[in-house]
Structure 1
């Protein structure tokens, strides 16, 4: 698990992003691509491993970011790894974490397993490809989402959000 160290007193908690897979990504090499994903939140930047020769890569990698500002969007950038030339862009996406953080703040103890807390619908301001439910599961708030990549001819990224409370954070 990659955790980005950040020296900040106003940390709200940790956001674990499981980068599950890419779907119908753009071709950037001959017939294929070697994709990887970079996730940014503020000054934090994490990346997945490179999947060789795949337009439908499966990463199933957890990247953990410190959340200090609920207004800051999470940004994803997909690249094709090249050995001798700069890596090619394969699109980008971003999403707002406010609806997820609002669900995290609710007192959800005792809710039935699998309860849908709220739904986030696709709109022009987000990159969500289809309705995404924020769910109470295994005693945690989780959200699965598909993000449509921008600035590219095709591609989506499937990911899952999970909140990790930090005992010393002011919100607990």
Structure 2
């Protein structure tokens, strides 16, 4: 059995300029699926939009920081299989390593690391892992793959589990 390192709270903030899957209404009915290892969590469906606002927090238990968080967007369909609207993934290794440090002497608002967009990741913009208000957090904008258009905005923060060693 793998040891629980902590909880990753993923706030699915919004989608930007997502693919149009319903040509008659020029919109989609998007929802987000996050996967990490055997875990799978889903957002609610936002109807008739290509710029959905979710602001929903989904929680993943972290037992292995080497696995990436995989994201899929789908268009909800009532009578047929849901359409894929793209996918993305991001690595949590740097985030978890920083979260597991003793940061009690680090000044509030310190940027602990900056991650730049590159071929090896799905980042659309620079992303900063920050120590603020006693929490490690990160704002991420991901460019969706396997689709013509779309970005997904996420906010991450770490929750330590009492009794789990840093």
TM over 0.5: yes
Give 1:28's aligned residue.
21
Match of 1:87 among 82, 85, 104: 82
Structure 2 residue ranges without an equivalent (≥5): none
CA deviation vs aligned residue, 1:66-107 (integer Å, no higher than 9, x gap): 101111000000000000111000000000001101211222
Aligned: 1:162 with 2:157: yes
Cα offset, 1:123, TM superposition:
1.1
Structural RMSD (CA): 1.0
Match of 2:132 among 137, 140, 155: 137
Cα offset, 1:9, TM superposition:
4.7
Between the aligned partners of 1:137 and 1:23, the Cα distance in structure 2 is 26
Give 2:9's aligned residue.
16
Q: Is the 8 A contact 1:99 1:120 kept in 2?
A: no
Larger deviation: 102-111 or 128-137?
Answer: 102-111
Aligned residues: 164
- Within 5 A, what are the aligned runs for 1:67-86? 67-86=62-81
Q: Which stretches of structure 1, 4 residues or more, deviate above 3 A after TM superposition?
A: none
Give 1:127's aligned residue.
122
Residues 72 and 9 of structure 1: CA distance in aligned 2, closer, same or farther (over 3 Å): closer
**TM norm structure 1:** 0.92
